[in-house]
Amino acid sequence: MQLNYAALTYPVVTVHQMTTLDTQTAQRLHSLGIQPGSQLTVVRKYPFHGPVIITVDQQKIGIRYAIFQALLGGQ
């Protein structure tokens, strides 16, 4: 059985806001290239509000679910 990994597509989301984050977290995300308007690719969402693995600028980053929700504007 062959698996075709090229056919996998991941959802792309846009960062809406960073105003609800504390200063240190916002600065760290900004240093990683995440700012309002950035396109993030969601690679994996762990169950029970666990971490979310995203890709931004060809790097994979794990962030807390609460921070991920804050970036999306609380959706």
Q: For the whole model, what pTM was predicted?
A: 0.82
Confidence of residue 74 (pLDDT cuts 50, 70, 90): confident
Cα of 53 vs its chain's centroid, Å: 6
Domain count within the chain: 1
**Residue span of the structural domain in which 59 resides:** 5-38+47-71
The predicted-structure confidence for 18-36, as pLDDT tens digits, reads as follows 999 999 999 999 999 999 9
Rg (CA), the chain: 13
